[in-house]
């Protein structure tokens, strides 16, 4: 009887678990989207991600498309197949990414703006929409659309400091333009450190801290002179210094670097730097002139911007509110390393932070077109000193080791000299103290030698 009750209890538990799994709501989101490759505007893909802990059968689900000003959704793909927990499912146009895609879609995603959604229609004809992305000049959904990617670029969902995809229902915050699309159709987790036991919590934006009331001048090669009133100059973000180590401080020595690739000076008044996985930290630059082909390092002591050590992203907004440039998201930052733009336009870690100067990597390559001025003209004394301290602290390890070796050798020579001096002084003192005895001894030796 006891064993029968145990078996019955196990059956009930399994039954309830099965029912719960069957009734759980799928958590499918759009993780990445491309409206055209560098080779063809018809080479497109949509990558889905399963946030939940259960396998989802996508058979009968639809990838839908709505033009920027349209009112009728059209089907781009009728899906079939399954997506594993925290796995990804790639849908690409015919003949594109055939080795990695899980399903095929028709082309026609407008690069300038539009909407893509993933949905399913139930037996009653009701549409259940699981995720939707709008970009460019999209009118739907109600949230702000993401920046439109160019051909060869993609829209990627932002990852927060804890390694989760964010989903704030605001596409301008949830997605960023990536110059390096990474379409995947396997069942490997998109985020390596994404937990496998619990589904993703929804991340909402944090309130932005108030900017400093009277910001100090920033370090760079662009202060002074006249400038064009460009409200959307193609300025670039080129470097983030995220985790300064002692004696440097997070709230003083972190910096975001801007580069002016144009041939004319730009007044930075109204340009805004935003950081954090949801761009919740913001700093509007004061009126300051940035020379052509020059760099500008904006330090945390002046901006109050926060760069999370566990991961994040930064972007630059124009005075009219348009996103001009955005870094690739970074993961955990090591002390005294900088997240910097490289020669290919991608981002990688470097052990040599270079505030106000071209980036330096292990292979000594510089980003293309970033051979600008490096002098810090017009910068304030305190910030110039900060840059010098940072450079010396993070790049001067070899010279300090040499100096240490020289110092140790000098100390050894001095020690030997002092010891010899003490011995000689002791001998001379002994000779003086016992001079009479020594004199008598010498006379005896002389008399002995004469007698012999």
* pLDDT digit string, tens, across residues 239-298: 999 999 989 998 899 999 999 988 888 888 889 999 988 888 999 998 888 888 999 999
Q: Of 182 and 6, which is predicted with more confidence?
A: 182
Q: Of 377 and 90, which is predicted with more confidence?
A: 90
Q: Above 80 in pLDDT, residue 95?
A: yes
Residue 316 buriedness (CB in 10 A; 0-12 / 13-18 / 19+): buried
pLDDT value of residue 222: 44
pLDDT tens-digit map of 317-374: 988 788 889 999 998 899 999 999 988 888 999 999 999 999 998 865 444 444 444 3
Q: Cα(343)–Cα(260) distance, rounded to whole angstroms? A: 16
- Sheet hosting strand 113-121, strand order edge to edge: 74-78, 61-67, 113-121, 127-136
Report the number of secondary-structure helices (H) and strands (E) in the chain.
7, 24
Query: What is the SS3 assignment for 291?
Result: coil
Q: What is the mean pLDDT of residues 376-385?
A: 34
Q: Cα(28)–Cα(13) distance, rounded to whole angstroms? A: 27
Alpha helices, H only, 94-249:
171-174
Q: Are 115 and 65 in contact (CB under 8 A)?
A: yes
pTM: predicted TM-score of the whole model, two decimal places: 0.43
Residue 409 pLDDT grade (very low, low, confident, very high; cuts 50, 70, 90): low
pLDDT tens-digit map of 214-240: 444 445 544 444 454 555 678 899 999
For the ranges 22-36, 49-63, 161-175, the maximum mean pLDDT occurs at: 49-63
Q: Fill in the DSSP letter of residue 238.
A: E
CA angle, residues 157, 160, 163, in degrees to nearest 5: 95
For the ranges 161-170, 202-211, 389-398, the maximum mean pLDDT occurs at: 161-170
Q: Of 285 and 446, which is predicted with more confidence?
A: 285
Q: What is the mean pLDDT of residues 49-53?
A: 89
Report the largest interatomic distance among the alpha carbons of the chain, rounded to a whole angstrom.
141
Helix axes 397-433, 435-451, angle to 10 degrees: 60
Q: Cα(36)–Cα(3) distance, rounded to whole angstroms? A: 63
pLDDT value of residue 230: 57
């Amino acid at each position: 009887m006891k064993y029968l009750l145990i078996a019955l209890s196990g059956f009930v538990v399994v039954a309830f678990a099965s029912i719960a799994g069957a009734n759980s709501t799928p958590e499918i989101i759009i993780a990445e989207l491309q409206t055209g490759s560098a080779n063809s505007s018809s080479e497109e893909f949509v990558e889905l991600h399963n946030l939940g802990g259960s396998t989802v059968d996508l058979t009968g689900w639809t990838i839908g498309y709505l033009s920027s000003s349209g009112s009728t959704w059209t089907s781009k793909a009728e899906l079939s197949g399954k997506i594993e927990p925290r796995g990804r499912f790639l849908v690409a146009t015919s003949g594109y990414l055939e080795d990695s895609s899980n399903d095929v879609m028709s082309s026609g995603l407008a690069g300038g703006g539009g909407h893509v959604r993933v949905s399913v229609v139930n037996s009653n004809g009701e549409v259940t929409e699981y995720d939707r992305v709008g970009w460019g000049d999209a009118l739907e959904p109600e949230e702000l659309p993401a920046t439109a990617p160019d051909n060869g670029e993609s829209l990627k969902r932002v990852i927060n400091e804890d390694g989760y995809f964010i989903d704030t229902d605001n596409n301008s915050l949830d997605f960023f333009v990536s110059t390096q699309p990474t379409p995947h159709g396997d069942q490997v987790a998109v985020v390596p450190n994404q937990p496998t036991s619990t589904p993703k919590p929804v991340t909402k934006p944090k309130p932005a801290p108030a900017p400093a009331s009277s910001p100090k001048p920033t370090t760079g090669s662009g202060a002074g002179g006249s400038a064009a009133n460009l409200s959307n100059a193609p300025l670039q973000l080129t470097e983030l210094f995220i985790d300064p180590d002692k004696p440097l401080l997070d709230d003083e020595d972190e910096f975001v670097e801007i580069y002016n690739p144009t041939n004319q000076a730009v007044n930075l008044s109204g340009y805004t730097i935003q950081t954090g996985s949801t761009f919740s930290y913001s700093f509007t630059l004061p009126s300051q002139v940035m020379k052509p082909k020059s760099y500008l390092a904006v330090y945390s002591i002046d901006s109050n911007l926060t760069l999370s050590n566990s991961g994040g992203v930064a972007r630059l907004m124009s005075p009219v509110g348009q996103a001009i440039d955005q870094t690739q998201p970074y993961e955990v930052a090591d002390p005294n390393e900088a997240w910097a733009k490289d020669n290919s336009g991608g981002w990688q870690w470097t052990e040599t932070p270079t505030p106000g100067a071209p980036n330096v990597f292990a292979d000594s390559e510089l980003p293309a077109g970033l051979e600008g001025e490096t002098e810090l003209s017009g910068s304030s004394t305190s910030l110039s000193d900060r840059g010098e301290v940072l450079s010396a602290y993070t790049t001067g390890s070899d010279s300090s080791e040499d100096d240490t070796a020289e110092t140790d050798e000098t100390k050894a020579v001095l020690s030997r000299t002092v010891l010899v001096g003490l011995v000689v002084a002791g001998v001379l003192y002994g000779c003086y103290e016992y001079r009479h005895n020594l004199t008598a001894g010498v006379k005896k030796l002389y008399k002995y030698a004469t007698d012999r």
